[in-house]
Amino acid sequence: MSKIYWVGSRLADIQGDEDNFAGAITLFGSSRICLGSECYESEHKHRLNQNSYDDAEKIKYFFKEKIEKTIISDQDSVFFCYGSEWNSVDSVFLKSFPYINKQQIIRLCKDKFRARSMVASFAPVVPAVCLFRTDCTFEALTRLFPGNRRFVIQSAYGAGGEGTILVNEKNCASRIDLLKGYELIASPYIDAIPINVHVVIGLDDLMVLQPSIQLIEKDGRGKLLYRGGDFSAASSLSHSMLSEIAKISRLVAQRLQAAGYRGVLGVDYLLTESGPMFVEINPRFQASSFVLSRHLRRLGLPSLQMLHRRAFEGGSVTLSEVPHAYASFIVFLKGGAGVEWRDSATFPGEHDSFGGGAHTFSPGAPVARVYFSDPIVRIGNRVVADTPLARQIGLSPSIFSHW
């Protein structure tokens, strides 16, 4: 029987599922917590920023070294990835990754411009153009999107906000220099509520789970950084809005299912007064997946990891009743602009500092992730952090607004 190893950023993401894995290879955590685990932080006493271009090569080398070492020592070992960690190994080892989709469909999902173009045939999408870096000037943007003075520029591929910036006339040129690649995606800035939805796709069925509000902070460089998610606040959306989000998510999932996609993915939207506008597809587990998995496990139901596995093994991925998690979380970053991490005793939630005993941190690396049973934000025309919990944490009400 094959030994299954979890591969991803956080060992804490499989908390409660440890018995389903022979071990783990992660960036954060302690090798003492889980038998058979290898953790970068525990080994190097340094915490990397998993979304940073500067740490990308270190991360890729770490996963490559540890995965290939495990395969060589145990030919029966297989790997279960949070995202694209499998991409770090030589192609000869890919047979040891039975729970990943074909590269062709992953590329389709991760291509932001192509995904919007395809979804536009059946749902509203955020307008976008694809530009050469040299053509991405403020003058060009105002010509392409008349009446707009603020724009969101993205690398064609990216995650966690490191590849997404907000620009205006004064800072357009300098901020675009922060992005990698010659191909950029440009959109008008839309003052709306960012939403993420989990979907699980099986061979013959699929399941759309509840949405969360994405907590996005603009740092001093104009980068829009993901700081957490709020399922509790999203539950206050109107029934019609929730139904429309679920409807479009199901339409997206049905098309990906027909193309051969299996397992967990996320769909992002901007929620305006007129309804949801599609933004992108994330063909992987989400930063908020641990919240849903924790809730499912507490109810005695299979976690998202186990549903993902079922999808690849031909089993059903739907539950007779989809339970709603009333929870939220926030990730405190090293050098976060909105609030500094304090002693955990001052926070009214469950926290994990990832446990690896890091002495040093890369810029923007996570300090801790804190899970709450109450909403962090309230929603109206935009996301406002003025709930009792937000005040207790010490958040500025406008931390997740970008005006």
Checking if the pLDDT of 124 tops 50, the result is yes
Q: Is residue 366 part of a domain?
A: no
Domain boundary among 66, 101, 136: 101
pLDDT for the residue 220 = 83
pLDDT band at 171 (very low <50, low <70, confident <90, very high): very high
Q: Is residue 166 part of a domain?
A: yes
Q: Which helix (H) or strand (E) holds 249?
A: helix 239-259
Q: How many helices (H) and strands (E) does the chain have?
A: 11, 20
Dist. CA 311–CA 314, nearest whole Å: 5
Tell me the per-residue pLDDT of 298-321, one tens digit each, with 9 for 90 and over.
Answer: 999 999 999 999 999 999 999 988
Least confident of 44-53, 323-332, 337-346: 337-346
Q: Is residue 240 part of a domain?
A: yes
Residue ranges making up the domain that contains 25: 3-101
pLDDT band at 280 (very low <50, low <70, confident <90, very high): very high
Average of per-residue pLDDT across 367-383: 88
Dist. CA 354–CA 369, nearest whole Å: 8
* Closest CA relative to residue 188, chosen from 216, 218, 147, 238: 147
Per DSSP, 216 falls in state E
Q: Are residues 132 and 267 in the same domain?
A: no
Tell me the per-residue pLDDT of 172-226, one tens digit each, with 9 for 90 and over.
Answer: 999 998 888 889 999 999 999 999 999 999 999 999 999 999 999 988 888 898 9
What is the residue-averaged pLDDT of the chain?
Answer: 89
pLDDT band at 1 (very low <50, low <70, confident <90, very high): low
Checking if the pLDDT of 94 tops 70, the result is yes
Per the CB < 8 A criterion, the answer to whether 294 and 13 are in contact is: no
Q: Is residue 154 part of a domain?
A: yes
Average of per-residue pLDDT across 389-393: 87
Q: Are residues 169 and 274 in the same domain?
A: no
**DSSP secondary structure, 76-128, as one string:** TEEEEESSSGGGGS-GGGGGG-TT---HHHHHHHH-HHHHHHHHTTTS-B---
Checking if the pLDDT of 125 tops 90, the result is yes
Say how far residue 110 (Cα) sits from the centre of its chain: 12
pLDDT for the residue 208 = 97
Radius of gyration, alpha carbons of the chain = 20
Q: Is residue 398 part of a domain?
A: no
Q: Which segments of 114-262 are extended strands (E)?
A: 129-132, 151-155, 164-167, 183-188, 193-201, 206-218, 224-230
Checking if the pLDDT of 32 tops 60, the result is no
More confident residue, 356 or 52: 52
Domain boundary among 101, 118, 152: 101
Per the CB < 8 A criterion, the answer to whether 210 and 324 are in contact is: yes
Q: Is residue 38 part of a domain?
A: yes
Q: Are residues 219 and 294 in the same domain?
A: yes
Per the CB < 8 A criterion, the answer to whether 9 and 28 are in contact is: yes
Say how far residue 253 (Cα) sits from the centre of its chain: 17
Q: Are residues 7 and 41 in the same domain?
A: yes
Domain boundary among 188, 223, 258: 188
pLDDT for the residue 161 = 61
pLDDT for the residue 345 = 46
Q: Are residues 81 and 144 in the same domain?
A: no
Q: Are residues 165 and 277 in the same domain?
A: no
CATH of the domain at 381: 3.30.470.20
Q: Are residues 307 and 179 in the same domain?
A: no
pLDDT for the residue 244 = 98
Checking if the pLDDT of 265 tops 50, the result is yes
Q: Quick one: what percent of the chain has pLDDT higher than 70?
A: 91
The total number of structural domains that make up the chain: 3
Dist. CA 244–CA 323, nearest whole Å: 19
CATH of the domain at 171: 3.30.1490.20
- Whole-prediction pTM value? 0.94
Q: Which residues contact 380 (CB under 8 A, 6 or more apart)?
A: none
Q: Are residues 312 and 211 in the same domain?
A: yes
More confident residue, 68 or 156: 68
Q: Are residues 179 and 270 in the same domain?
A: no
Q: Are residues 12 and 87 in the same domain?
A: yes
Q: Is residue 115 part of a domain?
A: no
Q: Are residues 199 and 310 in the same domain?
A: yes
Q: Are residues 261 and 298 in the same domain?
A: yes
The token pair at 176 is: 């675009």
Q: Is residue 310 part of a domain?
A: yes
